[in-house]
Every structure is written in structure tokens, then in C-alpha cells.
Structure 1
Amino acid sequence: MDVSLSIVTCGPQLEVALSGPQLNSTSVIRLCGVARRSSLLMGAVDLLVEDAGIPRAEISKIVVSRGPGSFTGIRSGLATAGGLTAALGCRVLAYNSLLVQAARAGGSGEVWAAQPGRRGEVYARAFALGGVAVPEPATELEILPLSNLAERGPWVAAEALSLGEARRMAPIRSAAEALIWLADTGLASEPLEPLYVEGPPVG
């Protein structure tokens, strides 16, 4: 079976999705509480697999976000993806979390993607949208204070991430679904390594 599992842990919410042509639809779990990601992640994976009525061994591809974002979240997601890949013998792909946020947007034009940084700041980058094409970076990565975000936009970010007065774009898919979408385009994987900016951010 061609079944994809995606894992998003480097932001303020945990997202896990399971998708495949044999399944009725893509199933997504999103948790926005305060519990440690590492204690919930495998439970979410098992719940999706059980709900789909398939064994874990049917998972053929795992896609994970590698940062930037929460230091502990990045480590948790990559470690879980690596462990599952070793146990199941499946493929694993990793993508920049800002690209993942941009891939949530639809249409054309420019969108700014944000991930949580240090207190009062976000990691940000603008992307050019091309409809069904993978978003292309339009600027370098920046570290911006929340007070400056309203000067740019529109923005796409995790719903649980506060952007102050900045204007948000309504996404067409979740971050977990965006990871699977990026993998399905054939986009080459980035290294399965944490992507930190200016050392481990607070998180």
C-alpha cells in the first residue's frame, strides 16, 4: 500500500496525518494543548492507524518538518520519524517548516510564512505562490518581532501561533496535509537533521 504518515511538531500545535489512495480520505489529528509532544505523538500515530484499519507496517512513507521552530518539538518529531523508519523500513522525507506553512496556502501571489522563535519573535520568510507548483522562496529567512508583522503579509502560520495585528491568509490545508502534498509533488527531501536558527530557540 502507498500510505503516507506526516508529523508536525516544531510549532505550537502537534499535527499528524495519514493519507493514501486506499483510504477514504486524509485523516488529521491536531492538538494544541500544553502536554509534551513526545508523550502524545505515538498515541496520535496509533490512533490514526487503528482508525484506518491498517497495521503500522503498511506505512510506506513518513514526512516530517525539520524546523525552524520549537527546539524540543523539532527533536521529538525527527526522532520519532527516524525510529519509525528504522522499524518499518519505509522512506522518510523532511522539509523546512516555513515551506510547509507556505504550502498550506492556495492561489497565486506572495505569502509570508511564520514559525515560533524566541519570546516575542517569529522566524519568517516570504514565498511566491504558483497555484499547483511548490512555493518558491522570495526573501531570505528573517527573525521579526511580533510588533513588525502587520507591515507585511498576508501571513500563514499555525492557528495557535499569535501574530498580533498581522493579516492572516486562510489556508486550504493543514500543515500535516501540506507535508504530504509536498512529498507527492516529488520535491527532493532535505536532510533529516534539525534546522535551528541562531542556536536552539525557546520552546
Structure 2
Amino acid sequence: MLCPIQTTTSQLLYPDLDQDLQLVADLVAPFQLDAEPTTDITAAKTGVLLIHGLTDSPYLFHDLAFEYHKMGLTVRTLLLLGHGTAPEALIKVSEREWRQATQYAMKQMLSDFDNVILGGFSTGGALIIDQLIHTKWTSTELAQIKGVMMWSPASKANSDFACSCKVHRLRPLFGLYQYGR
């Protein structure tokens, strides 16, 4: 059974793009779906930031982004450094760069919208937690954050073989979020 790659979000983002080029853009490019004009003032001033996980890309969020867009929200995604190309590109990037990119994206959302909802899958969730804990936020900025959604936020590996993984150097980032041990 074929699994279609082109999504409804693809059609919104690239309506006039050649289908082959659209496929490439879909799989790697960060995107923003702007809210349609609405009479709902709160929705019009609300933005959702979605951050993908390790080895993923913003494509992961196409279906979810479309649903939020239908609700009248603007949705923005972030492509983490080292992602969207070849796996070996992850060797050349540090968690510090991911933290900086996440902080920038969060600050930009707070600058652009009155209400912000943050969402992260796996590593994206860990990066959001990291920023919420370690960045100095003003009371106004914290009040703008209306929700945080996380799916499988990354945590410390429990396997004795974790040290054999190339991303083992990121363990300090993930180790902050180990629960129940």
C-alpha cells in the first residue's frame, strides 16, 4: 500500500511548485502556515512553534500543522542544524547550536505573537524544556506562553550500549530530564 508523501500542507505551502521540487521542499524545509483572516482576535494573535526530533525534519508536523491552521492559528516550524541532509551532518553540529536555534525561535515567536504554544517531538521537546528552565524569561514572556505540548521528550538513555552511539556527547542535555530513577 502506497503512503503518499504529498500532504494538504504541501498543497498550501507550494501550490504552484513542480511536484518533484515540492517533494524535496516538503521533506526538508521549515515552513510557516499563516492564519487566515478571522474575527477571532485570540486565534489571530496566536502562534504555534513546532520543533522536530533527532534525525527528523519539519515534515513530521505537516498533518498537525494543517489541523492548527484550520483552527485559525499560525504555525511555524524549525529545522534544527544538521538535519534535513545526510545523517553524517549531525556529527558537525553541537547541542549548543540546537539550544541557540531553539532559543531564537522561541524569542521570535514571543516577539511576533501575543499568545504562543510550544510543541516538540523527542529532542524538540527536550530543547523546549531546556530553554524554559535555563533562559531568563520576563514575566510578560512567560505569560504569553499559553501551552507546551511534548511527544516523547528525549531523556537519558537507560541502555548500557548508549555510549556506542555517535550522539552520546549530547547525554548531558538529555540527562537533565530523566525521571523516576
Q: TM-score range by the shorter chain?
A: under 0.3
Larger helix percent: 2
TM-score, with length taken from structure 2: 0.26
TM-score, with length taken from structure 1: 0.24
Rg larger for:
2
Determine which structure has greater relative contact order: mean sequence separation of CA pairs < 8 Å that are 6+ residues apart, divided by chain length: 1
